[in-house]
Amino acid sequence: MPPSIRILVYSDNALVRDQVRSALGTRVHPDLPELTYLDVATAPVVVSTIDGGGIDIAILDGEASPAGGMGLAKQLKDEVAVCPPILVLTGRPDDAWLANWSRAEAAVPHPIDPIRLCEAVAGLVRTLVT
């Protein structure tokens, strides 16, 4: 098992990035590795960082502007050879179909529910460590 899981958190809104980190904390489950974070506020930095490797999971804000997380997820899945699992924060529960279109492995709607977010991230982490 890796000592930690590196999570990229993308949103143009610093409050959303803070909410994600606060909701997840340093561990989503005692049996899973510690979480570390990289905050990113722009789409070009997301693409270059993911393309460079070293990110285990990406959490992308579907409501970010000017580049939304769902379009960015689709771009990453189409263009990056080894793309990590992606969780998209959708604008509302009914937008889950858009997250599916984007090829994201998970989706959680705004407003961020810490329990739902932790469950979704724990599921992604388990796929990485098994």
pLDDT given at position 38: 98
**Model pTM score:** 0.97
**Which DSSP letter does residue 88 get?**
E
Which residues touch 84 (CB under 8 Å, ≥6 apart)?
Answer: 8, 50, 55, 56, 57, 58
Tens digit of pLDDT for each residue in 26-63? 999 999 999 999 999 999 999 999 999 999 999 999 99
Mean pLDDT score of the chain, rounded to an integer?
96
pLDDT given at position 49: 98
Q: Name the band, by pLDDT with cuts 50, 70 and 90, for residue 2.
A: confident
Domain that holds residue 57: 4-129
Q: What is the amino acid identity at position 57? A: I
- Give the C-alpha separation, 30 to 32, whole Å: 6
Which residues touch 5 (CB under 8 Å, ≥6 apart)?
Answer: 32, 33, 34, 35, 36, 56, 57, 125, 128
Q: What is the DSSP string of 51-63?
A: HH---SEEEEETT
**CATH number of the domain encompassing residue 94:** 3.40.50.2300
**Domain total for the chain?**
1
Check if the beta carbon of residue 73 is closer than 8 Å to that of residue 103.
yes
Tens digit of pLDDT for each residue in 5-32? 999 999 999 999 999 999 999 999 999 9
Tens digit of pLDDT for each residue in 64-116? 999 999 999 999 999 999 999 999 999 998 888 898 999 999 999 999 999 99
Is 80 exceeded by the pLDDT of residue 1? no
State both tokens at 42. Answer: 């722009």
pLDDT given at position 93: 87
